[in-house]
């Protein structure tokens, strides 16, 4: 698979899978968006590398240096705008061989934790996702 057939690369060009409310944050290395509303609870985000590569081992020094600060800002924004008790981060690259992180807030009222929480079939409403995206866009700069 190359960048022309990769779904995440095509998503970055706006050709498919346009995220709810559009991208939240973009810089030279990273793009952040809300997941499709069928794929997780409200506030489920993707942090995607702008460049096509498999995993953390292939980051440039600049990508590696900038990721920690971005993760901090994303986590701060989710803490401020959701009632997450914990925020999960998961990367498998099994669906697409392009570095992306699932960022999934677990709310206080959700009884399942860890892998049991991640295996729930949670969804959210498009209008709620778009409203949250607007808040996160202001918070993640």
Residues that bind Zn ion (CB under 5 A): 6, 8-9, 52, 98
Phi, psi of 91 (to 5 degrees): -135, 120
CB of 26 to Zn ion, least distance (A): 15
In the complex with Zn ion, which residue's Cβ is closer, 91 or 138?
91
In the complex with Zn ion, which residue's Cβ is closer, 49 or 82?
49
In which residue are the tokens 């489920």 written? Answer: 44
User: With contact defined as beta carbons under 8 Å apart, do 51 and 67 qualify?
Assistant: no
Closest to 44 (Cα-Cα) out of 130, 104, 107, 109? 104
CB of 44 to Zn ion, least distance (A): 20
In the complex with Zn ion, which residue's Cβ is closer, 6 or 110?
6
Helices vs strands, H then E, count in the chain: 4, 5
User: With contact defined as beta carbons under 8 Å apart, do 74 and 36 qualify?
Assistant: no
In the complex with Zn ion, which residue's Cβ is closer, 3 or 123?
3
CB of 96 to Zn ion, least distance (A): 7
CB of 6 to Zn ion, least distance (A): 3
């Amino acid at each position: 698979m190359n960048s022309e057939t990769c779904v995440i690369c095509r998503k970055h060009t706006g050709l498919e899978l346009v995220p709810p409310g559009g991208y939240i944050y973009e810089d030279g290395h990273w793009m952040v968006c809300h997941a499709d509303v069928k794929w997780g609870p409200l506030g489920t985000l993707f942090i995607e590398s702008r460049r096509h590569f498999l995993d953390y081992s292939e980051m440039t020094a600049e990508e590696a240096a900038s990721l920690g600060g971005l993760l901090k800002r994303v986590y701060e924004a989710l803490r401020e705008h959701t009632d997450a008790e914990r925020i999960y981060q998961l990367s498998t690259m099994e669906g697409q061989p392009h570095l992306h992180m699932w960022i999934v807030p677990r709310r206080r009222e959700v009884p399942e934790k860890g892998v049991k929480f991640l295996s729930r079939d949670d969804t959210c409403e498009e209008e709620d996702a778009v409203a949250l995206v607007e808040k996160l866009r202001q918070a993640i700069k």
